[in-house]
A = this chain, B = another copy of it.
Amino acid sequence: MKTFNIAVIPGDGVGQETVPAAWRVLELAGQLSNAFAVRSHVFDWSCAYFQRHGHMMPENGLDLLKPFDAIFLGAVGFPPVPDHVSLWGLLLPIRRGFDQYINLRPIKLLRGITSPLCGYHPGDIDFVVIRENTEGEYSNSGGRLRVGTPQEVVVQNSVFTRFGTERVIRYAFNLARASRQSLTSATKSNGINFSMPFWDEVFQEVGEEYPDVKQVLYHIDALAAYFVTRPQTFDVVVGSNLFGDILTDLGAAIQGSIGIAASANINPEGQYPSMFEPVHGSAPDIAGKGLANPIGQIWTAKLMVDHLGFPDVGANILEAIERALEKGHKTPDLGGTDSTQSVTEAVMTELRH
């Protein structure tokens, strides 16, 4: 039986509650399967850490994380530390430093959940968004001129490389081929006139190697609208860093709550550890109250289990989540009255059966 060493970063706000909750489910799933065990090493990197130390993680943070089999993260960001400080000090350096260029986010209407969209039933909505996770619109490149004056000019550079664009599109094509359906590309080449025509070119070139995959291209504005008007038509969707970010929050909304949405930051070559974090943030307004929905974090644990090579165990976790939801175990964001704790217990109970 294999034991995995997991770097655990609860981070800020509700991460402090959802991470321990999901960890219990993860441990139990390993035990029950007799296939693997997990050993945690907890890092207290967070905004509280920042307030004590002046940085979000130690300078050698990435070196400390590197030996682990995976990273399990809660949420980053808490007032009064500005978001761009906390995120560029912890979350984004890990995504980049470990070349986790695939951000995989499933959008699925689970059993027991009512979508805000009329007329959809569990299973009707079921697709995956592949988001580029290391470059593009989040390039940390740009500057400001004549700061504070009426003549101020601010430039933000989106940097796209062929290397970075090709590999994410190729990953998405392989996934679409495996599911034998379609790949939808998010573009905006009609308005954004250097990076997006380039994105389209790469999509078309790589696409020539996948004649068996149906290829669809939509501008991001239309695509966002289609997430609302015909989400059942998607299979795999690929988008740039920003477009993937927007589409996956929107996807979280149509699947019922951002509190259930899961996310994997993957380095497919396995050169570096991959990182697993839910889509939701630290939710300062409800932090510490036992109200946080643990399902986003538990579903995220499922993605980690898949990644570590145990998709059957992953499937069991998702099945347990769905059964718990069907029995009505829901936190307030889903219209229920359960606590973080009781939803977690319910999922564990289902897992045992």
Determine if A189 is an interface residue (Cβ-Cβ < 8 Å): yes
Per-position binary interface string of chain A over residues 209-226, scored 1 when its CB falls under 8 Å from any chain B CB and 0 otherwise: 000000000001110111
Determine if A267 is an interface residue (Cβ-Cβ < 8 Å): no
Q: How far apart are the CA atoms of A339 and B194 in the complex, in Å?
A: 39
Q: Are A156 and B250 in contact (CB under 8 A)?
A: no
Per-position binary interface string of chain A over residues 119-145, scored 1 when its CB falls under 8 Å from any chain B CB and 0 otherwise: 000000000000000000110101110
Which chain B residues border A246 with CB–CB below 8 Å?
220-221, 224, 246
Q: Decide: A163 near B150, CB < 8 A? Known: A84-B197, A155-B157.
A: yes
Q: Are A254 and B228 in contact (CB under 8 A)?
A: yes
Q: How far apart are the CA atoms of A248 and B191 in the complex, in Å?
A: 15
Q: Are B193 and A88 in contact (CB under 8 A)?
A: yes
Q: Decide: A83 near B190, CB < 8 A? Known: A157-B156, A228-B116, A228-B253.
A: yes
Which chain B residues border A84 with CB–CB below 8 Å?
189-191, 193, 197
Q: Are B158 and A162 in contact (CB under 8 A)?
A: no
Which chain B residues border A114 with CB–CB below 8 Å?
118
Which chain B residues border A198 with CB–CB below 8 Å?
144, 152, 154
Which chain B residues border A241 with CB–CB below 8 Å?
191
Q: How far apart are the CA atoms of A194 and B147 in the complex, in Å?
A: 12
Closest to A258 in B: B225
Which chain B residues border A197 with CB–CB below 8 Å?
84
Closest to A244 in B: B221
Which chain B residues border A115 with CB–CB below 8 Å?
118
Q: How far apart are the CA atoms of A118 and B245 in the complex, in Å?
A: 25
A225 in complex: contacting residue of B137, B195, B253, CB < 8 Å: B253
Determine if A192 is an interface residue (Cβ-Cβ < 8 Å): yes
Q: Are A222 and B242 in contact (CB under 8 A)?
A: no
Q: Are B154 and A194 in contact (CB under 8 A)?
A: yes
Determine if A264 is an interface residue (Cβ-Cβ < 8 Å): no
Q: How far apart are the CA atoms of A138 and B196 in the complex, in Å?
A: 11
Determine if A153 is an interface residue (Cβ-Cβ < 8 Å): yes
**A residues 279-314 in Cβ contact with B at 8 Å:** none
Which chain B residues border A138 with CB–CB below 8 Å?
191-193
Q: Are A156 and B160 in contact (CB under 8 A)?
A: yes
Determine if A252 is an interface residue (Cβ-Cβ < 8 Å): yes
Q: Are B194 and A155 in contact (CB under 8 A)?
A: yes
Q: Are B194 and A221 in contact (CB under 8 A)?
A: no
Which chain B residues border A77 with CB–CB below 8 Å?
190
Determine if A117 is an interface residue (Cβ-Cβ < 8 Å): yes
Q: How far apart are the CA atoms of A114 and B241 in the complex, in Å?
A: 33
CB within 8 Å of B: which residues of A?
A: 77, 83-84, 87-88, 92, 114-118, 137-138, 140, 142-144, 149-163, 188-198, 220-222, 224-226, 228-229, 241-242, 245-246, 248-250, 252-254, 258
Leading 8 A-B pairs by shortest Cβ distance: A221-B249, A142-B194, A83-B190, A225-B253, A156-B195, A152-B162, A228-B253, A118-B118
